[in-house]
Amino acid sequence: MAGPESLEEKGGPGDQELRAEGKRILLVEDNALNREISREILEADGFAVEDADDGDVAVEKIRWAEPGYFDLVLMDIQMPRMDGYEATRRIRALDNPELARIPIIAVTANAFEEDRMAALDAGMDGHVAKPIDVRILRQTIARYL
């Protein structure tokens, strides 16, 4: 699992190049407008995108996916039925280790250090604050792909 330094939003000359070809992202977001905007950004970069409108839907999509089907999860935190923290804990507890290790990046308006630490404690690998800075989103995704 990633350490606290992986939750920092930093970039620089050593950043990895974003390679989207053949990569599928599960976008977990309860707000339809945010989901559509994020989908457009990701698809414009070349990602295949599937979505879930709540954490419980995301857990089931991961649980029943073939290992390797999803390359990464972008997880909203505040959702009505199951929040992103609980969804992440349930994904990390799946019996199949390949599914349980999928990179999960929090995408949230909760941008304080304690929010980053809560994401880490729940088992997330990274953190991107809303409103989304597309450059930071791309850098963060590239780091985990």
Tens digits of residue pLDDT in 98-122: 999 999 999 988 778 888 899 999 9
Residue 12 burial by Cβ neighbours in a 10 Å radius (0-12, 13-18, 19+): exposed
User: What pLDDT, in 10s, does the model give residues 1-24?
Assistant: 333 333 333 344 345 678 898 999
- pTM for the model stands at 0.88
Q: Domain residue spans in the chain?
A: 21-144
What fold characterizes domain 21-144?
Answer: Rossmann fold (3.40.50)
Query: What is the Cα–Cα distance from 25 to 43, expressed in whole angstroms?
Result: 10
Query: What is the Cα–Cα distance from 35 to 128, expressed in whole angstroms?
Result: 15
Residues in the chain: 145
Query: What is the Cα–Cα distance from 115 to 124, expressed in whole angstroms?
Result: 11
